[in-house]
Amino acid sequence: MALKIHHLNCGTMCPHGAPFINGHGKITDHGHMVCHCLLIESNDGLVLVDTGFGIADVKNPNQRLGRAFTAGAGLIADYRETAYMQIKELGLNPQDVRHILVTHLDIDHAGGLSDFPDAKVHIFAPEFEAAMNPNWREKQRYKQHQWEHGVNWVTYQTQGEKWNGFDSIRAIPELKDEVLLVPLVGHTRGHSGVAVNTQDGWLLHCGDAYFHHNQVAAEPSCPIGLELFQRGLAMNNKDRVHNLQRLQHLAHSTKTEQVQLFSAHDPVELARYQ
Ligand SMILES: [Zn+2]
């Protein structure tokens, strides 16, 4: 096992009302959210976990993401934050990205797929089903043109395997059991975490299963804006809350060096790794 991990921010969002988003600052300050993605150097090429926003998104944000989202999220459209450009900046070749695991296909997670058209995209089957056949609510969140370039999808169902009490799926057979999809549904129909085995223990990318680092603290709390946002956006809020409770338990029932949790949009968690 020799996975080299890079923690990337593939998109910055600065919505209004810092105290409601980050839990501190003045009400007139903008909040700060990131798109925490992983780049893994593996013996089967480069692997991305989530892609944030891609080059086409930052080039034409209003057209590709919609004005309401771009303005509401306070998107900072910066092509230097795309995974594609950061991979080049690291001296690596974006064409070596062989695999992408997606936590889910919301607008702020799937934007970079079109920058890696040759990669296999590994996804929990219920999420694929939701994005390809969205109901009326899901139509608002998924942007079909983020994958209309033709994606090499690989879908997975659970097979009864477990990881720390959670269902788990060996997502990339070439990487044996070093990278796992860990279904954490609720935010979307097929939302999943991604567990990565590193030299320092397991990392669990929790995607949008929670949004603020204090949600998995010993005494959990969440700024009210983010709390309402998560509730309102959940496709199944009961499942979301249940999975959040399981993550809270995981965060405190294991030694931190064994499993480190982080979510997609919290800048405090990203800073721990950069
Ligand atoms: Zn998100």
Q: Please state, in angstroms and rounded to a whole number, the distance separating the CA atoms of residues 168 and 92.
A: 30
Give me the architecture of the 4-273 domain, per CATH: 4-Layer Sandwich (3.60)
In the reported structure, the alpha carbon of residue 205 is separated from the centroid of ligand 1 by a whole-number distance in angstroms of: 12
**Exposure of 187 by Cβ count < 10 A (0-12 exposed, 13-18 middle, 19+ buried)?**
buried
pLDDT in tens, 194-235: 999 998 899 999 999 999 999 999 999 999 999 999 999 999
Confidence band, pLDDT 50/70/90 cuts, at residue 255: low
In the reported structure, the alpha carbon of residue 94 is separated from the centroid of ligand 1 by a whole-number distance in angstroms of: 23
What residue type is assigned to position 176 of the chain? Answer: K
Q: Are 42 and 27 in contact (CB under 8 A)?
A: no
In the reported structure, the alpha carbon of residue 140 is separated from the centroid of ligand 1 by a whole-number distance in angstroms of: 14
Tokens of 133: 């056949």
The residues pairing with 181 across neighbouring beta strands, listed in sequence order, are: 169, 194
Tell which residue, 23, 11, 20, 33, has the closest CA to residue 214: 23
Residues with Cβ within 8 Å of 70's Cβ and at least 6 positions away in sequence, in order, are 61, 62, 77
pLDDT of residue 174: 84
Helix (H) and strand (E) counts in the chain: 10, 14
Confidence band, pLDDT 50/70/90 cuts, at residue 176: confident
Whole-model pTM: value is 0.96
Q: In whole angstroms, how large is the CA radius of gyration of the chain?
A: 17
In the reported structure, the alpha carbon of residue 1 is separated from the centroid of ligand 1 by a whole-number distance in angstroms of: 30
pLDDT in tens, 96-152: 999 999 999 999 999 999 999 999 999 999 999 999 999 999 999 999 999 999 999
In the reported structure, the alpha carbon of residue 111 is separated from the centroid of ligand 1 by a whole-number distance in angstroms of: 11
Residues with Cβ within 8 Å of 175's Cβ and at least 6 positions away in sequence, in order, are 42, 43, 44, 47
In the reported structure, the alpha carbon of residue 197 is separated from the centroid of ligand 1 by a whole-number distance in angstroms of: 23
Q: Please state, in angstroms and rounded to a whole number, the distance separating the CA atoms of residues 250 and 262.
A: 12
Residues with Cβ within 8 Å of 17's Cβ and at least 6 positions away in sequence, in order, are 27, 29, 31, 225
In the reported structure, the alpha carbon of residue 102 is separated from the centroid of ligand 1 by a whole-number distance in angstroms of: 11
In the reported structure, the alpha carbon of residue 9 is separated from the centroid of ligand 1 by a whole-number distance in angstroms of: 12
Q: How crowded is residue 161: how many other Cβ atoms within 10 Å of its Cβ?
A: 12
Tokens of 231: 């509730």
What residue type is assigned to position 71 of the chain? Answer: A
In the reported structure, the alpha carbon of residue 184 is separated from the centroid of ligand 1 by a whole-number distance in angstroms of: 14
pLDDT of residue 173: 85
Q: Is the pLDDT confidence value at 20 over 70?
A: yes
